[in-house]
Amino acid sequence: MSAFTGTGRLARLVLRRDRLRLAIWVLGTPLLGYALAGSVKEFYPDEASRVGYASTSASSLVARAFNGPIAGTDLGAVVTAETYVTLALLAALLSTFAVIRHTRQNEETGRAELLGASVVGRYALLTAALLVVVAANVAATALLAAALAGAGLPLAGSVAAAAAIGGVGLAFTGVAAVAAQLSVTSRGANALAAAAVGISFLLRAAGDVLGEQTDGGLRVVSAWPSWLSPLGWGNQVRAFGGERWWTLALPVALLVAGVAAAYALAERRDIGAGLVAPRRGPATAAPGLLSPAGLAWRLQRGALLGWAVGVAVLGFSMGIAGDEFNAMIEENPAAAEAISAMGGGAKLIDAYLAAMLGLFALTIGAYVVQALLRTRNDEADGLLEAVLATAVSRTRWLVTQVVAATLGALALVLLGGLTTGLGYGLVAGDPLGRAVGLGGAALVRLPALLVVAGVVTALFGLLPRWSVALSWAALIVFLLLGQLGAVLDLPQAALNLSPYTHVPSAPAVDPAALPLVVLTGVAVLLLAAGTAGFRRRDVPS
């Protein structure tokens, strides 16, 4: 029997399990790229506006850190500068999560051992996951290239930009394959892969900030740290700016090296074990673990701490950049109009700050989904049955999970407002006053996050088998409608589907109480429906 025996059948199983996730990934990426390209094309319709954008982007350290270097003044170069980092990060995270879900998670749950009892080779499970993820990246790349070309951009540049994003996905596919061999848990493997993505972003940002301006200050040549980052390699393709096709070989090389290393490491461990030994816990459990609240805090504190660090750093950076962005968008009426549409209000800096707080709320929605979907993971892994075998009722357990996720979201959104206000206050004066004011404005976004929690809870209680895919799909829809709907001129009926649409854009406008009360009422109804459904269905479903 070959080490790859059964790979084809296992690949079909992966496709069967992830058919909805893969469809959202492969089709959603080009749709998002097409929408973003269309909006950028509207903001920068002529050469003069694009030259102004390129000049300010190349001279702005903040813009270079978050958007990367701009390759020129063509429309495609502006589109790439505005969309590359977002789409590349999505490709990286989707690739790592998919690989680990079908490798390490299968071992953690015992499915790998069950499959291994049949006619399945040693490498079949890993190879099947890799084949599907690589195929998904290739398909998303092809469709994204077609979408960018369909938006009116040159074909060669469209292919280069899409390939740069797909290359990031391929590179981190190899990284995830190695992470799955190191950690004994899927959570640990995901953390390792996510840390690799974060380090890659920081290296790219450092290389772009340290880079030199060329062509009269309209382009940036990245410094050496960018060449250490898979995210930086995508920038070096220079789509729409004299494409360098050879750089696409770098992510492919990392994929090949990662897969080879993963195969070698798989030979040196048992199924279900990891090469990094898990840390031994204390001999006795803490008294707090005797209650559902204590257990929820113990399980979520690591993720909450990581989110808090990220939110604090990003919030402070966005606050510091307030004056710089204000000056930059004032030079472009279309960009100023877009910021005002996303943030509301006539005062540009307040609209910018409101837009940043709205972006934080959307991002923290991912934390809410992540935290509440632990309920489904615990049920699927059999841990929930053990908890419910004690004196803990179903309602008490689920309510505890919801309260823990909601309090975490409250802490994060408040932290985002405080750090953004502190950063802006340091450059504009009155840091304490700005921090308190933006902290209060950030809390206005909490009812929208409660609706997100209600959606996840309702799906868990009523449609448990579909809850994971549908919860993430709902968040993506909210993202597109709440953050880009106004920019893309979508009808109001579509915008109203997102809870973020109904949140007052403080501090740009004075908050009204009625929308917040209605959102809270909707959240309560969704939470009640999810709790009632959970009480009446089988566990596990």
Residues 6 or more apart in contact with residue 522 via CB below 8 angstroms: 451, 454, 499
> What is the Cα Rg of the chain in Å?
24
Least confident of 387-396, 487-496, 511-520: 487-496
Least confident of 62-71, 99-108, 196-205, 261-270: 62-71
Q: What is the pLDDT of residue 345?
A: 47
Q: What is the mean pLDDT of residues 233-254?
A: 92
CA dihedral sign, ordered 322, 323, 326, 327: negative
What is the spatial distance between Cα 143 and Cα 29, in angstroms, rounded to a whole number?
A: 8
Residues 6 or more apart in contact with residue 62 via CB below 8 angstroms: 317, 320, 321, 324, 325
Q: Are 197 and 176 in contact (CB under 8 A)?
A: no
The 10s digit of each residue's pLDDT in 168-222 is 999 999 999 999 999 888 878 888 888 898 889 888 888 888 888 777 767 778 8
Q: Are 425 and 436 in contact (CB under 8 A)?
A: no
The 10s digit of each residue's pLDDT in 359-388 is 888 889 989 998 998 888 888 878 888 888
* Angle, vertex CA 240, rays to CA 235 and CA 242, nearest 5: 85
Q: What is the pLDDT of residue 482?
A: 63
Q: Are 79 and 158 in contact (CB under 8 A)?
A: no
CA diameter of the chain: 72
Share above pLDDT 70 across residues of the chain, in percent, rounded to a whole number: 91
Q: Are 212 and 237 in contact (CB under 8 A)?
A: no
Write down the mean pLDDT value for the chain: 85
Q: Are 52 and 332 in contact (CB under 8 A)?
A: yes
The token pair that represents 473 in the structure block: 């799909």
What region, left, alpha or beta, does residue 272 occupy, with left being phi > 0 and alpha being psi -120 to 50 degrees?
A: left
Tell the burial category of 2 from Cβ atoms under 10 Å away from its Cβ (0-12, 13-18, 19+). exposed
- Give one DSSP letter per residue of 98-164, joined into a string: HHHHTTHHHHHHTHHHHHHTSS--TTHHHHHHHHHHHHHHHHHHHHHHHHHHHTT--HHHHHHHHHH
248, 206, 198, 215: which is closest to 70 by C-alpha? 215
pLDDT over 70 (residue 508): yes
Q: Are 61 and 325 in contact (CB under 8 A)?
A: no
Least confident of 73-87, 322-336, 387-401: 322-336
The 10s digit of each residue's pLDDT in 129-141 is 999 999 999 999 9
Residues 6 or more apart in contact with residue 247 via CB below 8 angstroms: 233, 236, 237
Instruction: Identify the band that residue 256 occupies on the pLDDT scale cut at 50, 70 and 90.
Output: very high
Length reported for the chain: 541
The 10s digit of each residue's pLDDT in 310-362 is 888 888 887 887 766 666 555 555 555 555 555 554 466 777 788 788 888 88
pLDDT over 90 (residue 487): no
pLDDT over 90 (residue 449): yes
The token pair that represents 130 in the structure block: 């890799």
Least confident of 148-152, 382-386, 455-459: 382-386
Share above pLDDT 90 across residues of the chain, in percent, rounded to a whole number: 32
pLDDT over 60 (residue 460): yes
Q: What is the mean pLDDT of residues 147-156?
A: 91
pLDDT over 60 (residue 81): yes
Residues 6 or more apart in contact with residue 393 via CB below 8 angstroms: none
Q: What is the mean pLDDT of residues 415-433?
A: 88
Instruction: Identify the band that residue 411 occupies on the pLDDT scale cut at 50, 70 and 90.
Output: very high
What letter does residue 229 receive in the DSSP assignment?
-
Q: State yes or no: cis peptide before 45, omega within 30 of 0.
A: no
- Classified as helix, coil or strand, 480 is helix
